[in-house]
Amino acid sequence: MCGLAGLLLAGPQLHGEELGALAQSMGAALGHRGPDDDGTWVDAQAGIALAHRRLSILDLSPLGHQPMASADGRYVLAYNGEIYNFAQLRAALAALGHRFRGHSDTEVLLAAVVEWGLEDALVRCNGMFAIALWDRREQCLWLARDRVGKKPLYYGWAGQALVFGSELKALWRHPDFDNGVDRDALTLLLRLDYIPAPYCIHERAFKMMPGRILRLDAQAVAAGAAAHRPEQAQRPFWSAREAMQAALLQPFGGDDAAAEERLDGLLRDAVALRMVADVPVGVFLSGGTDSSLVASMMQAQSAQPVHSFSIGFAGSHHDEAPLAREVATHLGTDHTELYVSGADALAVVPQLPEMFDEPFADASQVPTALVARLARGGVTVALSGDGGDELFFGYTRYQRALRNWRLLQHVPAPLRAAMAHAARGRGESSRTGGLSAVLAEAGARGIGDVYRNRISRWRDPAAAVPGSHEPDSFYSLADPLHGAGTPADAMMLADFVSYLPDDLLCKVDRTTMAVSLEARAPLLDWRVAEFAWSLPMSMKLRDGTSKYLLKRVLRRYLPEPMVYRGKRGFGAPVGEWLRGELRGWAEDLLDPARMAREGMLDAGAVRGVWEAFGRGQRKWHTHLWNVLMFLAWQAHWRRARGDAAAS
């Protein structure tokens, strides 16, 4: 796990020393992602420079140093991530005549590109990665991101240069990166709590989408951001929608016992692959189905007690520590538990803008940051249970959306049209439930519209951002699966494509990398995902039990009382914070004069929500948290730009 950065010019505009110094500065901004080694590579004549920061996981020797050149000298690679099946790929490449100096997966990846080309090489890789690859023969830069979107990669224009990096703070180091706030992207933050790829909070900047590759050369750089269309330029080497559609056309034909055996085998192999490291490995353990299953499979395949980590919140319904402790005791893991106070959690809040670089408002970022810090005290790699809800119908909101969609289909079309008309102009009132909530879904074209309403924070975010137009996202589709599968499948696909990479995986990446910890998610092995998509709905939800098949597998490792218990989630008491210790912080950021001066948000709309929250109206804390995360980020961004200009 590492950090990468670099820049590509439209021509040889800088001497090698200047180009190298700029790339080195961009890489230094990512030092937390890779504290063990750093390197730069420059070709001034081609106008390209790559920088890398290394967190040593495999082959701790200098033979894993990056940027790394291929054996034939054609390619130079800066890469962040892990190729879990590198040993199998290495054996196949050795049989084809390739020779290796060290034992890193980086060297194997380069040899795979030489042998099969970039796209075919990535299709063969089982891993998580963000890649910057320079082709010296074709004089072009390739950017790529793994299938699911575990590893981040930003790119954008800074004056006449194209800049790219694992986090925005690397792009900020370029003196010409003065790109302002993209108002349209801000509306997506207000709706979703995050900004989905390919959008970015900055103008003239973008994110790589999962499963995509992008080719850039001097001509593309010279054409500028105005000519760039990320949805077309980023070409898929793997598509979640197409993979799900293919799986649905070839459904699993076995019974429960056969499906359980198949899933157990796939998950055990996925876990085993992710336990390979030359450094200590542990697991985040919450006591829920997903993390308990990962911990169980790790312990079943380890000769030593596995390191497990959990945190608890005293006196809070968010406290999962007792559940985790019970599982750890049964499995015999080497368990570390930390109870944190409200003050401990609140101390993290001022660090969030720097940790995330882009405004991000999933409040579970706070406990995730705390458990990452705890785990880093004992291990360098930690496995997580991310992905189970999106693949096995784990969210209760799925069931609520299905219920509402079924009810709507029994309402005559003229009445639905009248209800939809009555909903216009009600603004954010549908967030608080009641008649407004019913009317808000009346005009739904399909399950996509119903589900979008269920997961939205601000229902009309453009009204709170003057001069904005909310862009389409995956959640804008009436039917995300384009006619294939069931409404349940369509919702799970939407979350897999958007919520999973841009919220959950972003949260885990930034909080773990902030403390130089690598996180791995076995449930998101692409083989597990494609198998899950082939399963009938009855193996995901049965008799009111969600994640039915996952829990059948978990029964192999834990007693039933530990398997079948309610889901608590991994949240944070934001409403309590905003009424208590964070009230002064929030009041300062939400000052009407300050918001008017900044000019990004409609001060009247925001203050109306703040005042309703103060009067005790429920649910407004989610609206307020994403506004506050933006305002706190904006202040941080301005300070960072000021520091860059001063240096």
Q: Would you please indicate which residues are annotated as catalytic (active-site) residues?
A: 2
183: Cα within 13 Å, side-chain hemisphere: 13
The structure tokens listed for 479 are 């039917």
Using the structure block, give the residue that is written with the tokens 């360098």. Answer: 380
Residue 78: strand, helix, or coil = strand
Handedness of CA 92, 96, 102, 108 (dihedral sign): negative
Task: Decide the pairing of beta strands 381-383 and 281-284.
Answer: parallel
Token pair belonging to 182: 């993209």
DSSP codes joined into one string, 184-247: HHHHHHHHHSS--TT--SBTTEEEPPTTEEEEE-HHHHHH-GGG--HHHHSEESS-HHHHHHHH
Are the beta carbons of 452 and 475 closer than 8 angstroms? Answer: yes
The Cα–Cα gap between 240 and 121 comes to 18
Cβ count near 7 (within 10 Å): 28
Reported as type and span, the H/E element at residue 155 is strand 154-158
Yes or no: say if 213 and 235 are a contact pair by the CB < 8 Å rule.
Answer: yes
Residues 6+ apart with CB under 8 A from 403: none
At residue 130, φ and ψ (nearest 5 deg) are -130, 135
Q: Is 73 left (phi over 0), alpha (psi -120 to 50) or beta?
A: left
Find out whether 113 and 120 touch, Cβ atoms under 8 Å.
no
639 C-beta neighbours (distance < 10 Å), count: 12
How many helices (H) and strands (E) would you count in the chain?
Answer: 30, 19
Residues recorded for the chain = 647
Q: Which long-range contacts (CB under 8 A, 24 or more apart) does 332-335 make?
A: 332/299, 332/305, 333/283, 333/285, 333/295, 333/299, 333/305, 333/306, 333/307, 333/308, 334/305, 334/306, 334/307, 334/308, 335/285, 335/308, 335/309, 335/310
Terminal-to-terminal C-alpha distance of the chain? 29
Task: Please tell me the distance from the alpha carbon of residue 238 to that of residue 227, in angstroms, as a whole number.
Answer: 25
Cα dihedral 583, 589, 590, 594, rounded to 10, equals 150
